[in-house]
Structure 1
Amino acid sequence: MKYFIKAIFSLLFVCLLAGTAKAQIGYNYAQYDLGLGLDINKVYGDAQTIKSSKSAHFNFNVNAGPYINYIIEVQTGVLQGGDSLTTTTGRQFKNNFNAVMFRAQLQMGEILDYADKPIPNAFKNLYISSGVGFVVNHITNINRESILTPGFYTPGELNSNEIVIPARIGYEFKVYNSYDEPAFKIDLGYQYNFVLGDSLDGFTAGTQKDHYSQYSIGIKFAVGSKTSYRKQIPY
Structure 2
Amino acid sequence: MIKFNYRSALLVLILCSLADHLHAQQSYKNFSIGIGGGLVHSYTDRQKPDLNYLASGSLDYYFTPYLNAGLELQGGTMSGSSINADNGRTEGFNSEFATFQVRGKVHLGEFTGRPRRYRVFQDSFISRVAKGLYLGSGGGVLVIRSRENSEALYHNKELYLPAMAGIDVSMGDDSRILLNLNYQLNFVLGDKIDGLVSRGSKNDMFSSLTLGVAYTFGRLHYL
- Give the TM bin, normalised by the shorter chain: 0.7 to 0.9
**Structure-1 separation of matches of 2:219 and 2:142:** 32
Of 107, 127, 144, the match for 1:137:
144
For 2:213, which of 210, 216, 219 is the aligned residue? 219
Instruction: Describe the shift of the 1:31–1:210 C-alpha distance in structure 2 as closer, same or farther (beyond 3 A).
Output: same
Check whether the contact 1:32–1:223 (CA below 8 A) recurs between aligned residues.
Answer: yes
Aligned counterparts of 2:203 and 2:153: Cα–Cα separation in 1: 14
SS at the partner of 1:98? strand
Number of residue pairs matched? 213
Q: Percent identity?
A: 26
Cα offset, 1:121, TM superposition: 4.6
Is the 1:29–1:181 Cα contact (8 Å) retained in structure 2? Answer: no
Q: 1:141 to 1:210 in 2, by over 3 A?
A: farther
Distance in 2 (CA, whole Å) between partners of 1:42 and 1:122 is 28
> Shift of the alpha carbon at 1:72?
0.5
Q: Which amino acid aligns with 1:195?
A: V
SS at match of 2:98: strand
Residue aligning to 1:62: 61
Cα displacement (A) at 1:73: 0.2
**Match for residue 164 of structure 2 among 149, 156, 168:** 168
Give RMSD over aligned pairs.
2.8
| TM-score, normalization by structure 1 | 0.80
**Structure 2 Cα separation of the partners of residues 6 and 117 of structure 1:** 39
- Residue 71 of structure 1 deviates from its aligned partner by 1.9
Partners of 1:112 and 1:120 within 8 A in 2:
no
Could you tell me which residue of structure 1 aligns to residue 31 of structure 2? 32
Instruction: Say if 1:157 and 1:203, in contact at 8 Å, map to a contact too.
Output: no
The CA distance in 2 between the partners of 1:118 and 1:218, in whole Å, is 20
Q: Does the C-alpha gap of structure 1 residues 32 and 88 become closer, same or farther in structure 2, counting only changes over 3 Å?
A: farther
Residues 186-227 of structure 1 show CA distances to partners (whole Å, capped at 9, x for unaligned) of 111111111111111111223211111101110111111111
Structure 2: 5+ residue runs without aligned partners?
115-121
**Change in CA separation of 1:162 and 1:107 when aligned onto 2, cut-off 3 Å:** same
Q: Deviations over 1:16-68 (max 9, x none)?
A: 432332332xx101111100000201111011211111010000011111111
Partner of 2:191, secondary structure, is coil
